[in-house]
Each structure stands twice: as C-alpha cells, then as structure tokens.
Amino acid sequence: MSIVETKTEARPKPGRALPFAKAVGRFLVAAVTTYLGLLAVTFFIGRVVPIDPVLAILGDRAPAHVVERVRREMGFDLPLYQQFYIYLKGILAGDFGTSVLTTNPVMVDIKRVFPATIELATLGTIIGSVIGVPLGVLAAVKRGSFADQIVRVIGLIGYSVPIFWLSLISLVIFYAKLRWVAFPGRIDIVFEYSFTPVTGFYLLDSAMQGQWDVFYDVFRHIILPASLLGYFSLAYISRMTRSFMLNELSQEYVVAARAKGLSETRVIWGHALRNAAVPLVTVIALSYAGLLEGSVLTETVFSWPGIGLYITNSLQNADMNAVLGGTIVIGTVFIGINLLSDLLYRTLDPRTRTR
C-alpha cells in the first residue's frame, strides 16, 4: 500500500456532508448487505469444507443409527439453502445456536472468550501506538540517520518474524530464564476461586474490586503476550507514521511554521503530527481491529482463552454455529471500529465537519 493511496482513501472528500437521515440509511443498507454477504460466504464455505459435521459432534465411534439420528436432528439432511434459511431465522430471533464443542449457546461462549481477546488487543494496541508513533516520528525527522535505520529494522523484524517463534523465544527468556512474567493463561490458579470476574476484563475487574495482588498477577500474565502483539502493531504503526510524517514535513505550512520561528518541537508535534494524525487514526484502528480477531498463534502458545483460539478450534471441528457467531461478532466489531474511526476523523479533520 503506497502512502499516496492511503491518503486519498483515508480522507473523505470535503464538503459533501450528507443529511443525517440519509447517512444513517446508507449506513444501515451497507451494514445489512455486509452482514448477509459475510454470513452467506462463511456458511457455505463451512458447509463445503470436506468435514462431516456429525463426525465432529459424535466422534469416530458412534454407531450408524446414532449418526443418522443426529444428522436429522441437526438438519444436515436438508438442502443447503434451507439450512441457511433456518439459521438466518434463528439469528433474527436472537438465537445463534449452540456450540457443538462446548455445548453452550454460542453467545454465552463468545461473552466468555471475547473479553480475553479485547483486553489483550487493547493493551497490545496501546503499547504499539504509544511506542510506535514516537518511533515513526523520530525516524521521519531524522530521515536517513542511524536512528531511522534502527526504527526500520525494528519494523522489518516485526513484519517478518513469525509470531509463533517469537512468542516461544520470549517465553524462554522472560518467563523461563528471567521469571519476570507469569504463564500460562490469564491468571494464576491460586486466584482461580478467590477472584470472581464481573466484566471479563481481569485487569479492570481486579482493580475495581481493589484486589491488587490479583491485579499484579493478571498484569504479569498479560504483559508478555500484549507486548508481543504490541510489537507487531508497532512495526506497522511506526512505518506508517514515518510515511505520513515525511509527507507532512515536506508541506509548505511546515516551512511557514519554521519561518515564523516556532520551536522545532512545536512544528513536529504540534503541527506536522496533528495533520498526520488523521490517517494515522485509521491505521491504528485497523491494526486494533486486526488484533481483535484474535491472534490464534499467540493465544495457542500462551493458552489464552480468546476468540481466535475459539473460532479456529470450532472451524477445525466444523462447529458451524460457533464459527458463524464468532464471524458475526468480529464483523460487527470491524464495522463498529470503522465507524468510530470515521467519527474521530470528523473531530480531527476540520474539513470534514459539517457546518
């Protein structure tokens, strides 16, 4: 993706603010079509996968008559379009079906696994942007310097090293050797029954309940996977920040600002970064949304009970209700985050504000 492309894509054309109602209507139509498409594609892919879903439910040992009975019970003997119709009807009634693997209603499962992923992704994104943006700015300001090269190498490594490998290596270093962090899972078993999560965000829950020893334990569990995810978003964010900043720094207003004697700090952080921030918001939002899908490999290595692991596991077992439910939730999050970054745009970029 070149810088120019991102920029033109990222900035809505000024002066074309739609009347509110029309905008909402348009958004709804787009959202509904997106959802339908998403569901249809996932559903049909899930059904043409060469895995017998009954096999996933019953295992290899079930006698023939049980297999046939379950096939009927689950409606797998009906034509595909009919199965899809039945599924859609269920969703409209708020019934996302039951997961075969966990036997819970899909939404109950997702309520349990999604907060784990959100917590991890949020912390990861915070780490990624708090470090990535300044690094990108630094690299742009000192273009071609040693610092710039370093930032680029950091970015390159983040881009190209497999996260699975890096996760294990960092576990060996920070967990096994240095013992700075805790592992596995989200919380030590000592606290398993003295701590009751309310929201599912353990950091938040433990802080709200004033259980600081739990908070510390949760922090020690989350910091390594979050840093790793942070590192990967950092790689992307710093690279994009560098590009946006380079672009801004070559603009005439920067020359003007310098000419009127503003300090370099103000020129860079106050003027150039402010302008670069507009497309940057999209970049950060997209990388956040990417992390929210759940990083399957990170979750596997760290035994993190998140949505990535949940959906992958379900997919491998042809547990379609769970896969579809997860897809809907992630789709919603994507659409939501896109909308949110659009809104942020309006506050950051005066030209897109309606008068």
Partner 1 sequence: MMMTRLNRSFRALSAGAALSILMLAAPAAFAETPKDTLVEGFAIDDIITMDPGEAFELSTAEMTSNTYSLLVRLDMADTSKVKGDLAESWTVSDDGLTYTFKLKPGMKFASGNPITAEDVAWSFERAVKLDKSPAFIITQFGITGDNVTEKAKATDENTFTFTVDKPYAPSFVLNCLTATVASVVDKKLVLDHVKPVTPSADYKYDNDFGNEWLKTGYAGSGAFKLREWRANEVVVLERNDNYYGEKAKLARVIYRFMKESSAQRLALEAGDIDIARNLEPGDLDAVAKNADLASESAPKGTVYFISLNSKNENLKKPEVQEAFKYLVDYDAIGATLIKGIGEIHQTFLPKGQLGALDENPYKFDVAKAKELLAKAGLKDGFSVTIDVRNTQPVTGIAESIQQSVAQAGIKMEIIPGDGKQTLTKFRARTHDIYIGQWGSDYFDPNSNADTFTSNPDNSDAGTVKTLAWRNTFEAPELDKEAKAALLERDNDKRAAMYQDIQKKYLANSPFVFIFQQTEVAGYRKGVSNFKLGPSFDTNYVGMIGKE
Distance of CA 45 to the CA centre of its chain: 23
Closest approach of partner 1 to the CB of residue 18, in Å: 44
User: 268 to 327, contacts with partner 1 by CB under 8 A?
Assistant: 300-303, 305, 309-310, 313, 316-318
Stretch of 57-65, 87-95, 200-208, 247-255 contacting partner 1, by CB under 8 A:
57-65
Q: Can you tell me the distance from the alpha carbon of 114 to that of 112, in angstroms, rounded to the nearest whole number?
A: 6
For residue 111, state whether it binds partner 1 (rule: CB under 8 A).
no
176 lines the binding site for partner 1 (CB under 8 A)? yes
Helix (H) or strand (E) holding 126: helix 106-141
DSSP state of 350: G
161, 163, 168, 172: CA torsion to nearest 10: 60
Looking at the DSSP bridge assignments, the partners of residue 105 are 98
User: Are residues 152 and 158 in contact, defined by beta-carbon separation less than 8 angstroms?
Assistant: no
Closest CB 329 distance from partner 1, rounded Å: 17
What are the backbone angles phi and psi of residue 303, rounded to the nearest 5°? 50, 45
Q: Which of 168, 208, 255, 343 forms a contact with partner 1 (CB under 8 A)?
A: 168
Task: Identify the burial level of 109 via C-beta atoms within 10 angstroms of its C-beta, where 0-12 means exposed, 13-18 middle and 19 or more buried.
Answer: buried
Is residue 77 at the binding interface for partner 1, with CB under 8 A as the rule?
no
| Binder among 30, 66, 256, 339 for partner 1 (CB under 8 A) | 66
Identify residue 108 by its one-letter amino acid code: V
Tell me the closest approach of the beta carbon of residue 99 to partner 1, in angstroms: 8
User: What's the min distance (Å) between Cβ of 65 and partner 1?
Assistant: 8
From residue 211 to residue 250, the character string flagging contacts with partner 1 as x (rule: CB under 8 A) and all else as - is: ---------x------------------------------
**Contact by Cβ (8 Å): 57, 70:** yes
H/E stretch holding 242: helix 212-249
Verify binding: residue 130, partner 1, rule CB under 8 A: no
Q: How far is the CB of 50 from partner 1 (least distance, A)?
A: 5
User: Does 119 interact with partner 1 (rule: CB under 8 A)?
Assistant: no
Nearer CB in complex with partner 1: 104/209: 104
Interaction between residue 180 and partner 1 (CB under 8 A): yes
Q: Which letter, b or e, does each residue of 31-65 get, where b requires 16 or more Cβ atoms within 10 Å of its Cβ? A: eeeebeebbeebbeebeeeeeebbebbbeeeeeee
Q: How many residues bind partner 1 (CB under 8 A)?
A: 58
Q: Is 184 in the site for partner 1 (CB under 8 A)?
A: yes
Provide CB contacts within 8 A for 309, sequence distance 6+. Answer: 113, 294, 296, 299, 300
- Answer yes or no whether residue 47 interacts with partner 1 by CB under 8 A: no
Q: Which of residues 10-39 bind partner 1 (CB under 8 A)?
A: none
Determine if 190 is a binding residue for partner 1 (CB under 8 A): yes
The piece of 16-24, 60-68, 227-235, 271-279 that touches partner 1 (CB under 8 A) is 60-68
Q: Which amino acid is at 2?
A: S
User: 15: exposed, middle or buried (C-beta count within 10 Å: 0-12, 13-18, 19+)?
Assistant: exposed
Residues that bind partner 1 (CB under 8 A): 49-52, 55-66, 68-69, 72-73, 100-104, 109, 112, 168, 171-172, 175-176, 178-180, 182-185, 188-190, 192, 220, 263-265, 300-303, 305, 309-310, 313, 316-318
